[in-house]
Amino acid sequence: MKRRRLFAVFAAVLLLSACIYYSVPSYSGANALAESISGSDLFKEANVQGQTIDMYLIGGQSNASGNSLNIPNGVAVNEVLYIGEREENIGQSGMFCANSVTTGLGINTLYMGPEYGMALRLREQYSVTNPACIFKSAEGGTNLLDVTTGNLPSRFGNWYPRSLWDSPEHDGVSHTGYLYYRFIENFKAAYNLLVSKGYTPVVKAFCWMQGESDRGAVAEYEKLIKIFIRDMREDIGKITNTDQSGLLFIMGEISTTFSSYDQQAGNQMFIDMQREVAACGDPVKVVTVDTSDLPINGPGGAIIGSDKSHWNGTQMKTLGERFAEKALEYADKNYISLPQESKVKVSVDKLMFDYGDQVNITFSPLSDYFYENVKLNGQDITSQITNNIYTIASASGNYELTLDVRERTFYNITYSYDKERGDYDRRKSTAFKLYEGEDLIVVPKPKDGYYIGSVTFNGTALSEGVNGRYILEGGVTESGEVKIEFYRDGETAQDNAAPVEESGCGKGADAAKVLSIAAALVMAAFVLKKF
């Protein structure tokens, strides 16, 4: 009996312990990870438990990791904390943290990356008691493409997106996708360090300075960067346990003179692609940082940067400031997601906007395709599209636009008119074939002494417009005949009701008038003879 009571008490204690364990968040794992970050024991703690801290992330290759010589007289920015690492080989770790951002956070203490300029700009929005945090994980000379050969890719691996790996889990050794894996693991450690210090981190923007190594593969890069953005957002969301599908992604444009002054044409092709990715609307919330006024190389072999591949310290400070300005401007804006349907181009005047803004959506279908069943956040707006434009009068959140596209029906158009009375302007009028929904336009040309009586299509009158044009309202929905009626001055439709036929004395009404006159003359002769 005593054993049963003792067992019951023991079971109750275990059950109570389990309830306590699962109802209260445990940060033991976070503390263990935090211990692997150098300086974490002295890292600044939150003023109150749960204090919000905004995080700004930096990733990429050498102009992100920091190969720009320090600017002189740099100051410590105490309003921004820092967590990052120097360039490390595969399998090694060099994470460290600091309670301020200074120069010297590049590949070594003599160099700086964009974090310094970012901190200088961010300090205007934060304070020592309410700081922000910059996190950086980047490696020089590395690719987004699955490149594993060469000195730096062999040491560091590449950024190949996670969803394209052979296995969804990285082994931590393979070069393929190692930097992607490394970034996520480092971010997890940084995030957990902040949590262990009492903060509630909020990720505001991902700053990406990369692409110099992939300039020769513009088309492939365009596909990969879109996948990379989606994968990163998903994995960051898993760590933060929040939806990061709208996390602002900021791409720094590569320098127009990267490597040499003579390579501007090739560099510009890559930059144009970066801008197109930002403008396409899928993935959402992507912007670029203009660097066209930050040349690294000049004519005649002149080097303006720290070397021919990297900006100098002053330029790097400017780049960082621009990253921060984009983050502050766009991080909290709403957005619209656009379908990437090549047969119907969809564009908007604002991809990101504030509450209450007006947003105009324009549809530009190819001539042989048509959009139907257009939906905005699941609601059909097809009937509300006027002249291929739909307007959100007052935006009230995020939007997703979807549409179905189908091939247009092709219609044949014929023309019927009396050539003796007139013609039509073939250059300004609709051709003999039209796609469904296209405008039917006819410009009749009456001859001298005639006027335009009517213009119809399958019996439906066309509306008279400007410059002599006649237009079918609503566009073409069937094959059919355009019929143009020309009347002689003073003639009416009733006068010309009979079909036009060829005759020896002329055509139609002219012949009828001649016969009428002849009959009158015969009758007059008969009357005169009688008298």
Would you state the structure tokens that stand for residue 490, as one six-digit string? 């003073």
**Residue-wise pLDDT tens digits, 369-391:** 888 899 999 999 999 999 999 99
CATH 3.40.50.2020 corresponds to the domain 29-332: no
Cis peptide before 499 (omega within 30 of 0): no
The predicted pLDDT at position 492 comes to 73
The predicted pLDDT at position 22 comes to 30
Long-range contacts of 260-269 (CB under 8 A, 24+ apart): 260/297, 260/301, 260/308, 261/295, 261/297, 261/298, 261/299, 261/300, 261/301, 261/302, 266/215, 266/216, 267/215, 269/215, 269/218
Secondary structure, 3-state, 370-397 = EEEEEEECCEECHHHCECCEEEECCCCC
The predicted pLDDT at position 414 comes to 95
The predicted pLDDT at position 496 comes to 59
Q: Measure the CA–CA gap between 335 and 349, rounded to whole angstroms.
A: 12
The predicted pLDDT at position 162 comes to 98
Q: Measure the CA–CA gap between 148 and 90, rounded to whole angstroms.
A: 12
The predicted pLDDT at position 341 comes to 83
The predicted pLDDT at position 495 comes to 63
Q: Measure the CA–CA gap between 422 and 445, rounded to whole angstroms.
A: 6
Listing DSSP states for 62-108 in one string gives HHHH--EEPPTT---BTTEEEEEE----TT---EEEESSB-S--SSS
The predicted pLDDT at position 216 comes to 95
Domain boundaries, the chain: 29-332, 337-407, 410-497, 504-531
Q: Measure the CA–CA gap between 444 and 373, rounded to whole angstroms.
A: 37
DSSP conformation class of 421: T
Contacts of 177 (CB under 8 A, 6+ apart): 146, 157, 158, 159, 160, 161, 162, 164, 165, 170
The predicted pLDDT at position 526 comes to 37
Strand order of the β-sheet with 463-464 is 441-442, 470-471, 463-464
* Angle, helices 178-196/218-240, rounded to nearest 10 degrees: 30
Q: Measure the CA–CA gap between 313 and 66, rounded to whole angstroms.
A: 10
**Helices of type H across 310-377:** 313-330
**Residue-wise pLDDT tens digits, 402-448:** 999 988 888 999 999 999 999 999 999 988 888 877 889 999 999 99
If you search the block for the tokens 């501007």, which residue do you land on? 264
Give the start-end residues of each E strand in 234-353. 248-252, 286-289, 334-337, 344-348, 352-353
- Stretches where the chain sits below pLDDT 50 are 1-34, 497-531
